[in-house]
A = this chain, B = another copy of it.
C-alpha cells in the first residue's frame, strides 16, 4: 500500500535525461550554460543551479557521455539544483532516502529515484535516547554547554552509520545517494539540523525555523553524494511538526473533494481536518494513556504485549491476544482500548469507567485500597504473577479518550462540520494499524461514524517523505499544505471544559451520539 501511495501522486519525479546538441562555432555557449538551458526548458524553471563539485567535473562528463546525461534535480525555494549527473547509460542507480525521524525510532527507506522502487528499509532507535527518552529532556540537554552539538552529532553519526549499512546491504554506493527527505516533529528536526530548540518550550513557543527548506547534505555532515540535497519537512509550530505535514501529504486530505480527518495519537493528539480547499489543524495533550506509557504494565507493541482483548458476553471469559503468542507481559494502547471497550460492553466498568466488583467476579482485587482487575492470571503471564490494571489506569484512559473526543468535537465545531460529514477518518502510525475502531467508538474516544470510513495509514510520515522523493507535485503540495493550513490554538476555556466533562463518560453523557454502541442496561 505504501508503495502505491508513494507512486500515486501525479507528475514527474526528479530524474531528467537530456541529450544536448554538441557545441559548434555557431553555438559555443559554455558547458554548464548548455546543460542549464536544456534543463530549464525541460522542467520549466527560471533558474537551475549547478554547484561547484559538478561544475568542475562537467566538461569531462559531457564529452565522455557523448552529451547524453541523466540528471537528478531537486527544487529549492527560488529555483532548481542539479544534485547529480551521470552519463545516460551509466548503470549506477540514483538513490533517495526517505526518513521518518521519530523521537524514539528512526525509519529509513532507500528508493530508486527513477523507478521509485524500494531498494531497502531499516529502522533503528534514535541515538539521542542515550541523552533522554523524551523531547523535553533533550531540549533541556541542548541548553547545556555543548549539549546541542552532542545531540546533533548523535543523530548525524547515526544517519551516516545506518545509511552506510543500508547502502551496503543494498549494494549501492553512498555516492549514489543524492536526495534525502526527512519528516520529523519540530524538536527532532531542530536537533537534526543543529538548530537551537530552547525557545520552543518557552512562551510563546518559537521554533528557530518553520521551513528549513532544502539543505546541502555536506553542510549537515552527511557523507553521501557531494551535491546531495536534504529536504526537511516544514513545521507549523513547536507542537505541529513536519511528520504531520508528511502525514497530510500521504493521506491525500489536501487533494480530496470530501472532508477528511487525520489523527495522529500519542502523548499529544494531533488532528487535521479539511479537504482540497481548506485545512485546519490542532494539537492537544491527550495524556499518555494511548501510547502504552500509562500503567505499570503499559508498553509499546512487541512480543508478549496484549494487543487484542475480547470478553465473552455470557461467561465473561477473557480472550486475550499477545503479540507473537508469547506469554503476556504488558498491554499496548490499542489493547487497552479494546480492554476498556469490552469491560464497558460487558458491564464490568460503569459509564464513569469504574470497576464494578459484582460483574468482575474473581478478577476483581483490591490492592492498598485501589480496585484492580486481573487481565492475565499468573499461569498465563510472562512474569508468573497476575497481570493487572488498576482503577487509576482506567481513569487515565478515560481522561485521554475524553481529551481526544473533545479535541475532535472542538475542531469540527469551529468550522461547522458535523461528524457524519467526515468521509475519511485517517489514523496515522502503528496505533492506527492496530486500533480497532469499533472499540474506540464503544468507549467514545472517536465519533460514531461508519467503520468503513476508518483508514489506517501506517507510517504516514515515512510515506509522505517518500512521496517528496518521487513526485514534484508532492513537493509542491508540501509547501501548499504548509501555507494553506490554519492552526487552531486550543483554548482550554469553559466550552472546552464542558465538552471534556461530558466526554468523560462511556461512551458520552449524550448517548444518542453513539447509536451503534450496544450500551449495557
Contact = CB atoms under 8 A, between A and B. Distances in A.
Interface string A233-277: 001011000000000000000000000000000000000000000
Nearest to A216: B52
A296 to B, nearest CB: 37
A212 B28 contact: no
Given A56-B194, A199-B59, A219-B51, A30 B208 contact: yes
A161 B193 CA distance: 33
Contacts of A30: 206-211, 235, 237
Contacts of A203: 25
Interface string A19-38: 00001110011111100000
A213 B49 contact: yes
A519 interface: no
Interface in A150-207: 193-196, 198-199, 203-207
B204 A55 contact: no
A78 B47 contact: yes
A127 to B, nearest CB: 20
A55 B193 contact: yes
Given A215-B52, A219-B52, A489-B25, A209 B32 contact: yes
Contacts of A377: none
B206 A28 contact: yes
Nearest to A235: B30
Contacts of A76: 78
A140 B48 CA distance: 31
A58 interface: yes
Nearest to A47: B78
A489 B76 CA distance: 38
Contact of A193 (B52, B60, B196, B199): B52
A47 B210 contact: no
A77 interface: yes
Interface string A36-72: 0000000000110111100110111001000000000
A129 interface: no
Residue of A47, A78, A212, A219 with highest tally of chain B CB at under 10 A = A78
Contact of A204 (B24, B47, B212): B24
Nearest to A53: B219
Contacts of A450: none
A196 B206 CA distance: 47
A133 interface: no
Contacts of A215: 52
A507 to B, nearest CB: 34
Contacts of A25: 203-205, 489
A303 interface: no
A280 interface: no
A57 to B, nearest CB: 8
Interface string A208-227: 11111101000110000000
A384 interface: no
Contacts of A208: 30-32, 55-56, 58-59
A79 interface: yes
A79 B46 CA distance: 11
B205 A55 contact: no
Contacts of A56: 193-196, 208
Contact of A210 (B29, B194, B219): B29
Interface of A: 23-25, 28-33, 46-47, 49-52, 55-56, 58-60, 63, 76-79, 193-196, 198-199, 203-213, 215, 219-220, 235, 237-238, 489
19 contacts: A25-B204, A25-B489, A28-B205, A28-B206, A28-B237, A28-B238, A31-B206, A31-B207, A32-B211, A47-B78, A49-B77, A52-B193, A52-B215, A56-B193, A58-B208, A59-B206, A77-B79, A78-B79, A79-B79
